[in-house]
Structure 1
Amino acid sequence: MKKILVIDDNEGILDVVSIILESEGYEVHQLIEPNRVTQLPPADMPDLILLDIWMSGADGRVICRQLKDQPHTRHVPIVLMSANKDIAEIADSAGADGYLAKPFEMDDLIMIVKRYLTKEAG
C-alpha cells in the first residue's frame, strides 16, 4: 500500500485530504507540525508528500528544499498545496515535483496523487 504524508497546519484540510485518499486505498499519515518531517527516519519516508506552503511558523518552500537536498528524501515526490495564484512558479522555484491549487476538487487531488505514485512505480 502506498504511503502518503499530508503536511498542513489546518486540521480540516488534513481530515478532508485523508478521507479522500484513504477511500482510494492509500495509507495516509498527517503532520500538523511541518518541521518534524525533516526529522523522520528513512524507514518512515512516505511514497508521496503533500505539503502546504503557508503554515504558521513554517514555510513549505523551505521544507521542500530541505527535503530535496537530503539524499534519503530527494527521491520522494513533493506536491505543494496553496491558494496562492503563483503556485506553479512557487512550486518550481522550491524544487517541488508538482502543485495543487487550493481550493481543489476531489478529482484533482486523486489525479495528481495517482500521477506521482504511478510515475514512481513505473
Structure 2
Amino acid sequence: MSTSKSTELIPLINSTQPDLLIIDLQMPWLTGDEVVRELKTAQQHRHLPIIMMPASGKGQRVASGWGADAFLAKPFDLVDLYPLVEKVM
C-alpha cells in the first residue's frame, strides 16, 4: 500500500476486514486521527483494535481522544510493540 493514498484506506479496510490496525498519525490527505474517528464511529469497525503511532508523545492525547486502543510513540522497538498487540487483541 505504499503508493496508495490515505483516502483509500477505509475502503481497503472495508474489503479486507483486518484483525488489527496499526496506523501513523501523520499521513497525507486523511490523518490517522481522522481515519480512527471514522472507523470507531462505524458500526462494523468500532471493535477493530487500533494502535496509533504518532511521532511525538503529545500524540497520545490525540490517539486516545479519537478512540485508538493503544499508543506507541516513534521511534520504538519491536519488543515494545508486541505487548501492545497482545493487549488490544
TM-score > 0.5 by shorter chain: yes
If the length of structure 2 is used for normalisation, what is the TM-score? Answer: 0.85
Query: Which of the two has greater strand per residue?
Result: 1
The higher relative CO (CA closer than 8 Å, separation ≥ 6) is in: 2
Q: 2:88 aligns with which of 116, 119, 122?
A: 116
Q: Tell me the TM-score normalized by structure 1.
A: 0.64
Structure 1 stretches of 4+ with a deviation exceeding 6 A read none
Q: Which runs of 5+ in 2 are unaligned?
A: none
Give CA-to-partner distance per residue, 1:45-95, whole Å, 9 cap, x none.
Answer: 111100100012221001100001111111101111111221221111111
1:48 matched to 2:23? The reply is no
45-54 vs 31-40, greater mean Cα deviation: 31-40
Larger Rg: 1
Match of 2:60 among 71, 84, 88: 88
Question: RMSD over aligned Cα, in angstroms?
Answer: 2.1
Q: Which consecutive residues of structure 1, in runs of 5 or more, have no partner in the other structure?
A: 1-6, 12-30, 118-122
- Matched residue count: 89
Q: Which residue of the partner structure matches residue 21 of structure 1? A: none
TM alignment of 1:69-108, pairs within 5 A: 69-108=41-80
> Is the contact between residue 25 and residue 53 of structure 2 (CA under 8 Å) also seen in structure 1?
yes
Sequence identity (%): 31
